[in-house]
Amino acid sequence: MDGILPLWKERGMTSHDCVFKLRKILNTKKIGHTGTLDPDVDGVLPICVGKATKVVEYMMETGKAYVGEITLGYSTTTEDASGERVEVKKVTKAPTIEEIDHQMKNMEGTIIQVPPMFSAVKVNGKRLYEYARNGETVERPKRKAEINSFIRTSEPIFNEDAGTVKWRFEVACGKGTYVRTLAVDLGEALGYPAHMSDLTRILSGTFKASDCLTLEQVAEAMKAESIQKKLFPLEFGLKEFETMEVSDELWQKVKNGVPLPKSLFNTYSRFPVVMMYQGQATSLYDVHPTKPQLVKPTKVLRNQ
């Protein structure tokens, strides 16, 4: 069994939980997910099965899109709704729509984020959430994030009694973006502690919500012996790369991992390039690290 399974991750489960359950359902150990989703977040989680696990690293680099909700008025330990309240500053006068939209627009482009303490980022060999659970704090590394668009999608709701303002949003972003932190930083720009009160991933690379199956649907397809029809070819995980169709003559070299002259790739704008033979991705070729006039295979997907 080989291919990419776009899974709709339900809330209350970790990404690892999904992999663990799928190994049992699909009766195979060769499974990997393509980007962690927090337990409180649902949405698109592409899962690679069999030979497709070879493209996990490339799929983790792809862009993502989310819909969610931001709440001003208090922050939490986890930067989302599951955490304990940390700072409270009741909103007595709601920011205007113009102020909100202006600050959201300001956060588009390349920004710097400090990852939340409750995250999987490693510092000195330990994940930040391990420090957080022990009540420890450490200096967190700053990271660049690419925000392609960040827009408000609903009218702000001002709850005067609770001292909060909340609104829905949609964000399209690059890999490694912490949307929780985006909500916190937006609140700070508007003068209030804030947190991300809801989040759903609606896009991961080329996979969207309508492509996905739930774990229950996967189990049903497995029982009906139709699961292979539900899997996408591993080539779907390489959509962002340029491809080269390999002739029968060139295939004899490519299948044996022979370096090729870089001049063969003069029409290509970037590397790596996916080598295709008879409609299937066989390997990825990139510039040779010590011989810049050559291009060599950096990942073999199929060689027969």
Cα radius of gyration rounded to whole Å, the chain: 22
pLDDT per position as a tens digit, 155-200: 999 999 999 999 999 999 998 898 999 999 999 999 999 999 999 9
**3-62+205-237: CATH superfamily:** Pseudouridine synthase (3.30.2350.10)
Read off the pLDDT of residues 230-243 as tens digits, 9 standing for 90 and up: 999 999 999 989 99
Task: Write down the pLDDT at residue 134.
Answer: 76
Give pLDDT, residue 117.
62
Residue with tokens 């029982």: 223
For residue 163, with 0-12 CB atoms within 10 Å meaning exposed, 13-18 middle and 19 or more buried, which class applies?
middle
What is the rounded distance in angstroms from the CA atom of residue 166 to the CA atom of residue 197?
Answer: 9
Q: Give the separation between CA 267 and CA 270, rounded to whole angstroms.
A: 9
Evaluate whether 3-62+205-237 and 241-300 have a shared fold. Answer: no
Point out the catalytic residue in the list 38, 80, 185, 198. 38
Q: Compute the half-sphere exposure of residue 211: CA atoms within 13 Å on the CB side of its CA.
A: 20
Domain locations along the chain: 3-62+205-237, 64-204, 241-300
CATH of 241-300, one of 2.60.40, 3.40.50, 2.30.130, 2.30.30: 2.30.130
Instruction: Give catalytic status of residue 101 as yes or no.
Output: no
0.75 surpassed by pTM: yes
Q: What is the CATH number of domain 64-204?
A: 3.30.2350.10
Sequence-separated (6 or more) residues with CB below 8 Å from residue 280: 233, 235, 302
Mean pLDDT for each 10-residue chunk of the chain (304 residues)?
95 93 95 89 96 92 95 93 92 95 97 74 71 74 90 97 97 92 94 96 95 96 94 93 93 92 92 94 94 93 80
Is the separation of the CB atoms in 234 and 32 below 8 Å?
A: no
3-state secondary structure labels for all residues of 215-241: HHHHHHHHHCCCHHHHCECHHHHHCCC
Q: What backbone torsions phi and psi does residue 67 show, to the nearest 5 degrees?
A: -120, 150
The whole-number pLDDT of residue 128 equals 66
